[in-house]
A and B are shown apart, each in its own frame.
Chain A
Amino acid sequence: MSAETEPAVHPVAADAERVRLHAEGVRVGYGDAVVVGGADGLDLDVVAGTVTAVIGPNGCGKSTLLRTLARLLAPRHGHVLLDGRRLDSVPSREVATVLGVLPQDPTAPEGITVADLVARGRHPHQRWFRQWSREDEGAVAEALDWTDMAGFAGRTLDTLSGGQRQRVWISMALAQGTEVLLLDEPTTFLDLAHQVDVLQLVERLHRERGRTVVMVLHDLNLAARYAQRLVAMHRGEIAVAGTPHEVLTEQTVRDVFGLEARVVPDPVAGTPMVVPMGRVGTDKTH
């Protein structure tokens, strides 16, 4: 709760309540329009060692919020704190050793190999004269291993399937070795099996490595299943935030998505599962 007054905690001993990322009265916009934050600005805490999923309809500002947390966008008002320090007061390179981000649609140069791409995640730890230290090599080998992509190290990215490519990008983010990871729609363009694949990776990261993850997700059921905390956004503001059970109610789904739905327990995990019936105001038996 009181992250600012807390002394720097050793990362391994991070207690469950330590706030890693904190948005304070944040308002973000493009041009004249305020996209995120509404009238009073948006507040958000991301607690150490949790997986948070940001959900909401198209255009509600999910990605804008994530990009602001990742310092890819500068807020007009308010600020984002990483471990109690304002993001815009810490050198970007230093931030990059603690906070990693995987954008929605990253581009790779033509003909790059998997190993070379993953190695670029080491950039914040490197200098122009130190581009492949033992630590770099170890981190890249481990990241490839972790995502089961070691066998593809020598392949070029364009020879891989969409699901494999996404694993490579996640490897790159892993090689960066940051304790906090922001993922912008990591499952888009993937079929269901590969979506689950990616989310299981995220779950392992959280469980086995204690990483803090914030991700934007479209699929509510998967979000409820793989995140401990949901943040539902509506028109640039946080409508509800809390555990999946607190957030995924029939009321929220109606208010935020404009969707009539039943919410039942997921038969496998027991997390709430949304069964859509139809748009608000249309015939439900349709």
Chain B
Amino acid sequence: MTAPNPPVLLEVQGLVKHFPLQRDPLGRGGGVVRAVDGVSFQVRQGETLGVVGESGCGKSTTARLLMHLIDPTAGAVVFDGLAVGGRDLGLKDFRRQVQMVFQDSYASLNPRLTIEDSIAFAPQVHGVPKREAIERARDLLARVGLQPTRFAERYPHELSGGQRQRVNIARALALQPRLILLDEAVSALDKSVEAQVLNLLLDLKDAFDLTYVFISHDLNVVRYMSDRVMVMYLGQVVEIGDSETLFEAPLHPYTRALLSSVPAMDPDHRTERPALTGDPPNPINPPSGCRFHTRCPHAEAVCAQRMPTLGVRHSSRTVACLMHEPGSGHSGAPALEAVA
């Protein structure tokens, strides 16, 4: 909360998605999967927000909710100060400004369309004439490092995974969006290709003044890409903070556990912190109180009863943990402020 901050581009308020479960023929079951349970955050113009968490924590559901590919149970998305999906900012206008790159580079391209047709599809939807859209597609191919003469009229199955993901990036850029959601966009690529695509993403961000929401389970990649990082656990946000501070001094026990699961490059720096064991609990019946208390090394009785609130604990850090909540009743909680 210092310095002139760029304006908030995307604001998410209390996003909730519950997937109802089918009842069996006897009428039993029929609970809900709390895939995303009250997620709020902001993305500022020009920054990259990294989103990390174990598989099943609601990262991808959050991305799909942001794009309105699925309807939220509750919550609102505000883009550039306008509520999305209402009269202020229609879905179609919103989708012109926000685009998404999916994990599976092959499944996200229509096998029957040539590369240039795939890229030119979205602009045509928004009223760009076909000729112009194709020219834009070819420019973009060149921009993402694929020679248009070699690739424009090819089909997706003739390209490698890295090339296809470049095509998907070009497709996302075709509408000249302001924000791009990258949902595990590089996770399926080889390490060397991944690095190239990451650098391409960084170049494009500068060239087109983009803002990224970068979802990944790979902590090193998130650290490399992100200005700020959001950590999710079982459909909730447990910690948000500047990338460097968060990686250097994580506050939430889950973030610490997550970070200690990254193999250290330097053998002298091996940590002996308890890594996470077991799978995350079932999101159908999440644990009471703090959802992490079942796996938390610092859990106390109070953790099973009180739900921690996501509050600003440090200069630029927001954490949901009773240990860092003043007067929460946890033995490690500070009296008023400042945390180790």
Bound pair (A, B): no
